[in-house]
Structure 1
Amino acid sequence: MITEKQKMLAGQYYDPSDAELTELRYQARLATEKFNRTSAHQREERAEIIKSLFGSTGNSLHIESTFNCDYGGNIHVGENFYANFNCVILDVAEVRIGDNCFIAPQVGIYTATHPLDPIQRVNGIEYGKAITIGDNCWIGGHATINPGVTLGNNVVVASGAVVTKSFADNVVIGGNPAKVIKKIPLSM
């Protein structure tokens, strides 16, 4: 029999009130609560909390408080990752972020979504769509990355953008909904 967690990770409708999922979210809340209470002087301890919470990380990462997520274990970040104040990652599906990525303050990365049908939605079921962010990306302040989005390498997301669809490499995107503002020429 397939578990609610397996359904969730497969992008199927699942019941978030399932006991296993409730416990996993509780453990993530405890870890982020501990992280958010640690002093900026405790850089190594802060990094270790995040490394134990996330599914995988590079060696070099820095996240400012406050940080919040649903599960943590579905978040994978590459080398040289930085997230500024008040980052929220709802990771009911996998979130993969490449190397050398920088996230500005108040960014939301949301894999969680709900049925459009109001009867299904009221019954409490939900589902998720994975998000992938390539290498060398910069996500501007107050940007929102919606479920199912893939961003290529070297993408810059303007402050306040609402990203509802995927974009290829080497572009600056912005607006609501986000669109290409310009292409980024690569220096030789």
Structure 2
Amino acid sequence: MTVPQRVLDLMHSPGVYFCGDPEMDQAQREQLDLLYDINQTRQSDPKRRELLSRFFAETGDGLYIESPLHANWGCSTHWGSGCYANFNLTLVDDGEIFIGDHTLIGPNVTLVTTGHPIRPDLRERYAQFSEPIHIGRNVWIGANVTVLPGVTIGDNTVIGACSLVTKDIPASVVAIGQPARVLREINDHDRDYYWRDRRIPAGI
């Protein structure tokens, strides 16, 4: 990761800031070129791991990301160990994203740290703000989920497919909906059944 510290400080600071800084533009172009290279590699190519390490802020052991991957920056996203992301992950990561160990991310998930002011004149000047996303350890985010700026998702939680996560979700629950709400806690039934009435085989 070679993005200048001044650019990172600007994006990661609270409050409104304006895009268009020449150093920021150059740094983002370089990151997007690196992203292009990542998406052209095969999973079996040893170079892919090296490219991911250069692109992201942190890459834990065993990180596996399907192509295509989409990201504003990459350098603001921190991955734990043993994480998996399916096809078409989109990271709007001007702000920081923290993803805990062993988290699974389904296809077509979007993690959005950045928004724009409602005030029209500020948007004309490319004003934006960024708030970090924190995703805990061993979380499962289902297909087509969108997580909005400033959200924290607790350890072991499951976010159901097609949910829109607009506020914090606690640990060890199942949450679903638009906006996402806690449906129930993870419970003893989940120890014996993996889906509906399908029992988990003995010994696993």
* TM-score bucket (shorter structure): over 0.9
The yes-or-no answer on 1:146 pairing with 2:168 is: no
Counting matched residue pairs gives: 184
Aligned to 2:16: 13
Aligned to 1:182: 184
The yes-or-no answer on 1:169 pairing with 2:198 is: no
Is contact 1:4–1:15 with CA below 8 Å preserved after alignment? no
CA RMSD of aligned residues (A): 1.4
Secondary structure in 2 matching 1:126 = strand
Specify every segment of 5 or more residues in structure 2 that has no aligned partner in the other structure, as ranges: 1-5, 192-204
TM-score, normalised via structure 1 length? 0.93
- Please give the per-residue CA displacement for 1:77-102, whole angstroms capped at 9, x wherever unaligned: 10001111000111111100000001
Letter in 1 for 2:75: G
- Please give the per-residue CA displacement for 1:154-184, whole angstroms capped at 9, x wherever unaligned: 1111110000000110011111000011111
Is contact 1:162–1:176 with CA below 8 Å preserved after alignment? yes
Aligned to 1:137: 139
Give the one of 29, 46, 57 matched to 2:32. Answer: 29
When residues 5 and 19 of structure 1 are mapped into structure 2, their CA distance, relative to the original with a 3 A threshold, is: farther
C-alpha distance in structure 1 between counterparts of 2:120 and 2:106, whole Å: 34
Instruction: State the Cα distance separating 1:12 from its structure 2 match.
Output: 2.1
Letter in 2 for 1:38: T
Letter in 2 for 1:139: I
Instruction: State the Cα distance separating 1:11 from its structure 2 match.
Output: 2.2
C-alpha distance in structure 2 between counterparts of 1:40 and 1:93, whole Å: 28
**How does 1:39-54 map onto structure 2 within 5 Å?**
39-42=42-45, 44-54=46-56
Is contact 1:88–1:109 with CA below 8 Å preserved after alignment? yes
Secondary structure in 2 matching 1:148 = coil
